[in-house]
Chains A and B, each alone.
Chain A
Amino acid sequence: MTMTTDLPQDLAEREAIAPEPGYWDPVRHVLLDRWSTRIAFVVVILFILAAAFAPWLAPYDPLRQSIVSINKLPSWDHWLGTDQFGRDVMSRMIHGSRNSLIFGLLAPIFAAFFGTILGVTAGYFGGWADRVISRVIDLLMAFPELLLAILIAAALGGSFWNIVVVLTVAFTPGFARVARASTLAVKQEPYVEAAIAAGVRTPLIIFRHIVPNIMAPIVVLMTLWSASSIRIEATLSFLGIGTQPPNPSWGNIIRDGLTNMFATQWPIVAGGMAITIVVLAISIIGDSVRDVLDPENAQ
């Protein structure tokens, strides 16, 4: 440390200390600095826009069948051809992206919400609350996510909200575990003791001092699991327990395509490509975010 004085007049004359980057600045930094991440970001945004404006973008009704144009190859009229019922694959892909992406976003958000509540409760209060919550988390973690998802989807059926519930339940334990570990660490910080000493009520301590300081790893987990979520939804739909036909989702477009593989390959190619590209893009973003927020890798 250099020899500095703390005299107020001295302080008033110069800037106290050069402003340091804000908490989220490094994230912005990495999202824009790495070209791979930048491309991934653009890709994800394009897909989200396509899903948002599906009814206007899709050239045809994704459910309209036409006996005269089945198993068409790609053409100017049908960019990705048509399937065995004469439905436009391009339109089905665009509409299907709604189902796929919405799971990719919704399930991690819900899981982050419930997982944070459980993890913070367990970590902050400890004792029997911690023991009960931790054991339930261990129980759920013992199942692979996909197995758990198939189990619940098979039991409840494959409606939209059921799949969201399935994925939320499958992802919640991971968030809860991360939130609990982070809470245990933040709880030891002197500023938490300072808040207790100041007389701040427990709920306020949790919302004001604990939660904002454990959000970084939670956000990383959300990006990483958006990819998993899209993948698992596609898997469930492919297995026939996800989005139910005739509603399109990338998973059941592949499933339909599989049964008709020798007539036209385009539905499989399109569905597979879309899943690959989006999952890859989100994973790239997730990796960058993790690199930045991981203190071990701090530049």
Chain B
Amino acid sequence: MTVLMTIDGLTKSFADTSMRLGPKRPPVRAVDGVSFHIMQGEVLAVVGESGCGKSTLGRLLLRLIEPTSGTVTFEGQNMSVMAPEQVRQMRQRMQMVFQDPFGSLSPRRTIANIIAEPMDTFGLSGTGKARREKVAALLQMVGLPSIYMDRKPRQFSGGQRQRIGIARAISVDPTFIVADEPVSALDVSIQAQIINLMQDLQQDKGFSFLFIAHDLAVVRHIADRVAVMYLGRIVEIGTKGQVYNAPHHPYTEALLSAAPHPEPGRRETRIILQGDVPSPSNVPSGCAFRTRCPLAQDICAREQPALREVAPGLNTACHFAAAHPITRHRAQA
């Protein structure tokens, strides 16, 4: 497998641009020096609580927003230095599936026009009958009857609309798709169908997939690797098996213990974190997680822990990653 995308020191801070009198609020560091890579054809899940910067990260990778610093290298090209028109050309190979199935489809356009929009943009759709046939094939691929292509989005349910959004994303055969919490707005009964659909399409077409979710249970099924974010930083990244079964970061452990287990009756030792997530405009010194961490020591306030390999296929940003696993019973699960 080759590397598709390399992210190096990516940072996005939102400055206080309000016209208020008085001192400005400190900038919000939504994404704070994130580095990782995405392999060709892999599914990388990014999980974390709301406000941890995971959606911002997804948008930075597609350059829907401009990074404050850091670089994104996609298929060997440094996207950070590209002109807007070059970035626009890149979008043929990188698409997005949105969180909101109701807002992300233009209410006044037909399904055919919505799905064909990326193809139209890059001159791939052909005209007339050929275009309709392509749209019909895409609808078929996402499990919708092609007779619906002349309808408007408001006539479809959330799950159906998300299928339409997926059809739009795969229409130009991208090599990379960002899915920003694609199922969080859907009924639980529909979520599994949509995840299965995306998994089938991913295996079929082999694109790389950045799957953003706030919930570890959702991505368990689809991910190859999992990255856990906290306050704009990646605190742990590794293969699915390592992250789920032998996490070394106390935050990952806390998240896992909060996720419901598929096995009925089984009781886990729940780790209840104290306090709230600190404001991203006022991140604690050193390790951002130290204010809520059961393992925190003096060093955590002084030094920011770097991501380092603590086990094969697992990188963890914790001073005590190797020394103090809280609960180790998962190792055999």
Which residues from chain A sit less than 8 Å from chain B, CB to CB?
1, 3-8, 11-12, 16-17, 19-20, 23, 189-191, 193-201, 204, 208-209, 212-213
A to B contact number (C-beta, < 8 Å): 90
Q: Is B117 in contact with A200, judged by CB distance below 8 angstroms? A: yes
B129: min CB distance to chain A, Å: 22
Q: Is B144 in contact with A8, judged by CB distance below 8 angstroms? A: yes
B130: min CB distance to chain A, Å: 19
Is B121 located at the chain interface by the 8 A CB criterion? yes
Is B145 located at the chain interface by the 8 A CB criterion? yes
| Most chain A CB neighbours (cut-off 10 Å) among B89, B95, B98, B104 | B104
| Pairs A–B under 8 Å by Cβ, sample size 11 | A7-B143, A11-B145, A16-B148, A190-B104, A195-B117, A197-B91, A197-B95, A197-B96, A198-B168, A199-B118, A201-B88
Of B92, B99, B107, which one neighbours A213 at CB under 8 angstroms? B107
A190 to B59, CA, bound (A): 12
Q: Is A17 in contact with B117, judged by CB distance below 8 angstroms? A: no
Is B279 located at the chain interface by the 8 A CB criterion? no
Q: Which residues of the other chain, B, contact A6 by a CB distance below 8 angstroms?
A: 143, 157, 159-160, 163, 190, 193
Q: Is A197 in contact with B64, judged by CB distance below 8 angstroms? A: yes
A158 to B165, CA, bound (A): 56
A5 to B147, CA, bound (A): 18
Q: Given that A6-B160, A8-B143, A190-B104 are known contacts, is A201 also in contact with B155, CB under 8 Å in the complex?
A: no
Q: Is B156 in contact with A193, judged by CB distance below 8 angstroms? A: no
Q: Is A199 in contact with B122, judged by CB distance below 8 angstroms? A: yes
Q: How many residues of B contact A (CB 8 A)?
A: 42
Find residues 302-326 in chain B having any chain A CB closer than 8 Å to their own CB: none
CB-nearest residue of chain A relative to B163?
Answer: A6
> B53-83 vs A: 1/0 string, CB under 8 Å?
0000000001010000000000000000000
Q: Is B121 in contact with A23, judged by CB distance below 8 angstroms? A: no
Is B269 located at the chain interface by the 8 A CB criterion? no
Q: Given that A3-B189, A201-B121 are known contacts, is A194 also in contact with B155, CB under 8 Å in the complex?
A: no
Of B121, B148, B165, which one neighbours A200 at CB under 8 angstroms? B121
CB-nearest residue of chain B relative to A1?
Answer: B187
Q: Which residues of the other chain, B, contact A5 by a CB distance below 8 angstroms?
A: 189
Which residues from chain B sit less than 8 Å from chain A, CB to CB?
62, 64, 88-89, 91-92, 95-96, 98-100, 103-109, 117-118, 121-122, 143-145, 147-148, 151, 154-160, 163, 165, 168, 187, 189-190, 193
A150: min CB distance to chain B, Å: 36
Of B89, B92, B151, which one neighbours A16 at CB under 8 angstroms? B151
A3 to B104, CA, bound (A): 23
CB-nearest residue of chain A relative to B94?
Answer: A197
Of B107, B147, B157, which one neighbours A17 at CB under 8 angstroms? B157
Q: Which residues of the other chain, B, contact A199 by a CB distance below 8 angstroms?
A: 88-89, 91-92, 118, 121-122
Of B104, B148, B151, which one neighbours A194 at CB under 8 angstroms? B104
A266 to B158, CA, bound (A): 65
Of A1, A3, A198, A213, which one neighbours B118 at CB under 8 angstroms? A198
Q: Which residues of the other chain, A, contact B89 by a CB distance below 8 angstroms?
A: 199
Q: Which residues of the other chain, A, contact B145 by a CB distance below 8 angstroms?
A: 8, 11-12
CB-nearest residue of chain A relative to B108?
Answer: A212
Q: Is B160 in contact with A194, judged by CB distance below 8 angstroms? A: no
- Per CB-CB distance, the 10 closest pairs between chain A and chain B, nearest first, are A199-B91, A190-B103, A190-B104, A198-B118, A191-B106, A197-B96, A6-B159, A199-B121, A194-B104, A17-B155
Q: Is A190 in contact with B148, judged by CB distance below 8 angstroms? A: no
Q: Is B104 in contact with A4, judged by CB distance below 8 angstroms? A: no
A15: min CB distance to chain B, Å: 9
CB-nearest residue of chain B relative to A199?
Answer: B91
Q: Is B108 in contact with A213, judged by CB distance below 8 angstroms? A: yes
Q: Which residues of the other chain, A, contact B107 by a CB distance below 8 angstroms?
A: 191, 213
Q: Given that A8-B144, A17-B156 are known contacts, is A191 also in contact with B105, CB under 8 Å in the complex?
A: yes
Q: Which residues of the other chain, B, contact A20 by a CB distance below 8 angstroms?
A: 154-155
Q: Is B103 in contact with A191, judged by CB distance below 8 angstroms? A: yes
A7 to B107, CA, bound (A): 23
A11 to B160, CA, bound (A): 10
Q: Given that A3-B189, A11-B144, A198-B168 are known contacts, is A191 also in contact with B104, CB under 8 Å in the complex?
A: yes
Contacts beyond the supplied A16-B160, A197-B95, A198-B168: 14 A-B pairs with Cβ under 8 Å: A3-B189, A5-B189, A6-B190, A7-B143, A11-B160, A189-B103, A191-B104, A191-B105, A195-B117, A197-B96, A198-B118, A198-B121, A200-B117, A213-B106
| Most chain A CB neighbours (cut-off 10 Å) among B96, B105, B117, B168 | B117
